[in-house]
Amino acid sequence: MREIKWGQRAHAQMQWDRGAVAVWITMDRSVGGRRTREVYRTAEPVLVDEGQRPPEPTMLLGNQEAVSLMDALWLAGVRPSDGTGSTGQLGATERHLADMRSIAFNRLKMEAGC
């Protein structure tokens, strides 16, 4: 099992020619005064017979690392299929529209009173 450790980061890049998102897990280090970056490779497939207990997960992400992966995927253009990632944006848009309605209606009342 691959456990993501503190200080590791997720990176994602849309690779349009492959029709896929490439994901890397990295760790920046300083070795003998030289800056290096460890890049973790993918796991090998494991065959599991029907009814057999599943193997350990490919990786475990802590909260910070999971957020890093989600952010990297978002920057690569990946969005949730149900739109839940846009809730904050939708809420901000709804508040903005309510403000604009208030301004418009107040303006119309002022012009109608003239």
Confidence (pLDDT) at 44 = 78
Confidence (pLDDT) at 84 = 60
> Shortest CA distance to 42 belongs to which of 22, 62, 56?
22
> Shortest CA distance to 76 belongs to which of 1, 13, 30, 11?
13
> Shortest CA distance to 8 belongs to which of 34, 22, 23, 28?
28
Confidence (pLDDT) at 20 = 82
Q: Record the tokens describing residue 12, joined without a space.
A: 């994602």
Neighbours of 49 (CB within 10 A): 6
Confidence (pLDDT) at 11 = 82
Write out the chain's pLDDT in tens, 114 residues: 444 444 678 888 888 888 888 888 888 887 788 888 888 877 778 888 889 988 887 777 777 888 888 898 888 888 877 766 555 677 778 888 898 888 888 877 766 655
* pTM (two decimals): 0.50
Confidence (pLDDT) at 87 = 58
Parallel/antiparallel/unpaired status of strands 59-60 and 20-31: unpaired
Residue spans of alpha helices (H) in the chain? 63-75, 87-113
